[in-house]
Amino acid sequence: MRQSERPGSCPYAPTTSGTRRSSETAFQLSRRQWLQWSTAGLVSASVSGWFGALAQALSREPNRKKACILLWMAGGPSQIDTFDPKPDHPNGGQFKPIATAVPGIQISETLPKIATHLRDLVLVRSMQTREADHGRGTLLMHTGRLPSGPVQYPSLGSFLSKELAEEPKDLPSYVAIAPYRVFSPTALSPGYLGPRYAPLLVGETNFAVVAAKPNPDDYENALRLPDLEARDVSPERSESRLRLLSEQGEEFTRDRPDPVVLQQQEAYLRAVRLMRTRASGAFNLEEEKPELRDAYGRNLFGQGCLLARRLIERGVAFVEVTLSQVPGVIAGLGWDTHVNNFPQVRTLCQVLDAAWSTLLQDLRARGLLENTLVLWMGEFGRTPRINNSAGRDHWANGWTAVLAGAGLRAGQVVGSTSRDGMEIKERPVSVADFLATVCLALGVDPAKQNLSNIGRPIPLVERNAQPIREVLP
């Protein structure tokens, strides 16, 4: 057993409280019982540390559904400066390759901590989309489709959470942390699935934020949900207002049983449930050990990854965490490094390396990694050739995406690019191929159909998809 897997040996180990007998009793509770008890107030906040131990027990349940965390790299990260180094060619740039935990596989020196986790990773070095526009690329990677007339395609967070969510749903099934929707406002949309499958947005960034100098302390406020608190209103008056609103809503829906109205009513009811339960405590990062928070990184992305673990631990099906706003990166636009690529990539990777490696170790220590798929990707890669501004431009032909966890046959590379990085040498992987692989890794049938807003059945993933079967469990 690795040291990181022994409870109490490091900050990643789950905190336990109470006697040994009490802990064993917690293991015997079903997930539904646990959530029902906590909703009713029978489980106090003082035993919140039991969630890690409970997660380990739940992870062994044969019928437990899997979950997904997407680490979204807004702007398009350079594959050469991260996972597909080219040390023997001028296109390789300033960074050197380093050895990893898997003999024969090298990655860039910018990710030394992730290099130690290569046994958990699948590097797909041959992604190919031919969409080098931010908006179209972001939409394509999130939905598997490009804009198509009246059809409103749902994001993978929406259609996967629809398949993976479990009852009861005190927390939303889909949460997006620090999303940057400027490139593609509809990329996170539930599309024809309706508002019921829209994400809860936490700590959203936009032009107003990135235009200013980022405040490193903003993450504390950004990751809270202050709107759940009734300010300057007594609990009795708050309940009275909610009851009145509910009665009016029920009367309205009785007279207008339109699907959109019903879906909006469902979204309202879910918000009220979140206000009334202890589930919102998932957003209280102060419950975590200071040393664990330090390991993730005291920044928006690092603490966002910690929040993602807390949400997955409590039954949320899909969490997306965006890395875009980092102090020291031009305009806060993340990986869109057209100018001075190398110092910006190094800064971004310092944040990424700490948060991602800690997330993997934390999930493993809590028994969650086997049932959680962790994705790393952006809308495309960066040009192998370095431009006249010491930057790299948009590149959609031969770039890298990464999968981890969920019982994958990890520790391997899929596909390869040429010595100069300009061409794919073997195993091109399309977006449909990649998303079909994601679905199957999560136990979801990619051919399953949903009825679109124009009444046409549409599969989750295009029918011509060829999953990467060699990495599937």
pLDDT digits (tens, 9 = 90+) for 25-74: 333 444 444 344 433 433 333 333 333 443 344 444 455 589 999 999 99
Cβ within 8 Å of residue 65, ≥6 positions away:
164, 165, 166, 317, 371, 443
Q: What residues in the chain have per-residue pLDDT under 50? A: 1-10, 12-61, 207-214, 216
Structure confidence at residue 242 (pLDDT) = 59
- Is residue 263 within 8 Å of 196, Cβ to Cβ? yes
Structure confidence at residue 450 (pLDDT) = 96
Q: Using DSSP, state whether 413 is helix, strand or coil.
A: strand
- Is residue 395 within 8 Å of 382, Cβ to Cβ? yes
Structure confidence at residue 356 (pLDDT) = 98
What are the start-end ranges of the E strands in 149-258?
174-177, 200-202
State the amino acid at position 178 in one-letter form. A
Q: Using DSSP, state whether 11 is helix, strand or coil.
A: coil
What are the start-end ranges of the E strands in 118-248?
121-128, 174-177, 200-202
**What backbone torsions phi and psi does residue 100 show, to the nearest 5 degrees?**
-125, -175
pLDDT tens-digit profile of 63-84? 558 999 999 999 999 999 999 9
Structure confidence at residue 217 (pLDDT) = 57
Q: Using DSSP, state whether 215 is helix, strand or coil.
A: coil
Q: What is the spatial distance between Cα 473 and Cα 453, in angstroms, rounded to a whole number?
A: 35
- Is residue 5 within 8 Å of 365, Cβ to Cβ? yes
CA 138, 159, 449, 153 torsion-angle sign: negative
- Domains of the chain (ranges, CATH numbers): 63-222+284-471 (3.40.720.10)
Q: What is the spatial distance between Cα 260 and Cα 192, in angstroms, rounded to a whole number?
A: 10
Q: What is the spatial distance between Cα 67 and Cα 458, in angstroms, rounded to a whole number?
A: 23
Check: pTM over 0.85? Answer yes or no: no
DSSP 89-132: SGGGTTPPEEE-SSTT-EEETT-HHHHTTGGGEEEEEEEE----
Question: Helix (H) and strand (E) counts for the chain?
Answer: 14, 16
Q: Is 150 exposed, middle or buried, given 0-12, 13-18 or 19+ CB atoms closer than 10 A? A: exposed
